[in-house]
A and B are shown apart, each in its own frame.
Chain A
């Protein structure tokens, strides 16, 4: 079961490290990362496996949001089914 984390905001040092540290702490396995920096903007999409998450997924969503707020980034964690249902028939 996968979820997708998107991170958008001004580029700064250690963004990937902060997000991946929180994933490791919660027991989420990073499956794939794609990131790009355009001028000063940073955009990352991370696919994570949440099968062995050590906390409820809703709590993980909140924690990632907190990471985003403390770093002035827009971090969204969403179950991948929402994207699959919208873009795959």
Chain B
């Protein structure tokens, strides 16, 4: 049949219909450098006008592509230049106004998130970066769709421990300000090491400093498709298993590339990258944890989980790379706890601890993601968790991140509920011992040496 076989056609349809295959996001990156102004009101006007003009057709074009190709495109989003880099001199109160402007633009466009309320402080703070970070709790509590990220470390710069120390307090404050909503603001805030500048996924997306005026980045998904393929492969050895995953990742990514090319053409915006990520959702059959369990683990989090995840992550990248002309972003398997039915279940039954999660982040993309911890966790302990996770990224020359929710007024045994793609999370137990004196030292942890590898 027209070169395509009936089997090919029904395979694609089955992936979409039964295995939750979708394009997770089309994200338009927009530079805001030329919105610089002397006063905050002028900068807000310029930002609003630029975003709403440049992304005017983003949602309608996304919906057209979705319909014509029959592939669900879950989110249409915008990322902007890190707001702390937009020229001018701003106080924390000014930054809250800018956040409100971003939120207003997101509502006008009909997008569910806008990313880029961000600061890059891996080596030190500018006055603007410090003021933006101070404003984050208020900015996230008073807006609905704004996402924020702070890059506190890189392999070349080392770790800015002053920034890490600051983020503990910022996260606690954000949790408190949204205490009536399960500390929701923390779900929109990511602390990064080696942050990618072309990531289309929220909450960490922003339009990097070396990017073009506007750009289209696409994030694919498809844990359900990989999971089904592994199930079909049955009792095979690891080489065969890796091949099955590679082939599946190739097919998923080809679709991402098609959508990215089409969106770029129709919007007349250059194509940036396809992000080859396996992004789970709380829906049944859309879980990364279930892929690992499908490989032969009784429960995600048991011994062998890190090896299984390393195999999965590597095979996804190998399969996806050939399918796309440009790959970037976070590219790998995501392991957010609250957004993955299998992860939630593993935490609930005690199979998955925060320590094991930390080990898993050494071999896959992102890091400790959407983790709920007791509301009375000291800020210094949150800093310790961030420092540990960020060190893994810095030492291994990879991106790592922390998105942690100290759920105000809640403790171990309870859970937080965000709804939608953000899901819900059981509150995890942390170490009872303090790291306050360690965090209080301040300063920078030097960049690691990259010879004498051991």
Contacts and interface: CB of A to CB of B under 8 A. Distances in A.
A4 B13 CA distance: 11
A34 B302 CA distance: 48
Given A61-B67, A85-B257, A86-B254, A2 B8 contact: no
B69 A81 contact: yes
Of B2, B6, B257, most A-chain CB atoms within 10 Å: B2
Given A34-B1, A47-B2, A6 B9 contact: yes
Contacts of B9: 4, 6, 45, 83
Interface string A71-88: 000101111111111111
A21 B71 CA distance: 26
Interface residues of B, number: 23
B4 A78 contact: no
Given A82-B12, A83-B8, A58 B2 contact: no
A76 B2 contact: no
A31 interface: yes
Interface of B: 1-4, 6, 8-13, 17, 64, 67-71, 251, 254-255, 257-258
Contacts of B67: 58, 61-62
Given A61-B70, A85-B254, 5 more contacts: A6-B13, A32-B2, A45-B6, A76-B70, A86-B12
Nearest to B63: A58
8 contacts: A31-B2, A34-B6, A79-B69, A86-B255, A87-B4, A87-B8, A87-B11, A87-B251
Nearest to A59: B67
A42 interface: no
A82 B71 contact: yes
B70 A86 contact: no
Interface residues of A, number: 27
Interface of A: 2, 4, 6, 31-32, 34, 43, 45, 47, 57-58, 61-62, 74, 76-88
B62 to A, nearest CB: 12
A88 B71 contact: no
A82 B4 contact: no
Contacts of B10: 6, 43
A85 B251 CA distance: 8
A62 B67 CA distance: 8
A54 B404 CA distance: 53
**A-B residue pairs, 6 tightest by C-beta:** A78-B70, A85-B258, A87-B8, A82-B69, A58-B67, A85-B254
Contact of B12 (A43, A77, A83): A83
Nearest to B3: A88
A31 B2 CA distance: 9
Contacts of A88: 3-4
A83 B68 CA distance: 12
B124 to A, nearest CB: 45
Contacts of A61: 67-68, 70
A84 to B, nearest CB: 7
A31 B3 CA distance: 13
A57 B257 contact: no
A62 B3 CA distance: 26
B12 A57 contact: no
Contacts of A77: 70
B292 to A, nearest CB: 25
A82 B255 contact: yes
A82 B6 contact: no
B325 to A, nearest CB: 12
Nearest to A58: B67
A57 to B, nearest CB: 6
The listed residue with most B CB atoms (<10 A of its CB), out of A32, A74, A81, is A81
Given A58-B67, A61-B67, A84 B12 contact: no
A48 to B, nearest CB: 11
A58 B64 contact: yes
Contacts of A4: 4, 9
A32 to B, nearest CB: 6
Nearest to A36: B6
B404 to A, nearest CB: 37
A45 to B, nearest CB: 6
A47 B71 contact: no
Contacts of A76: 13, 70
Given A45-B6, A58-B64, A76-B13, A82 B1 contact: no
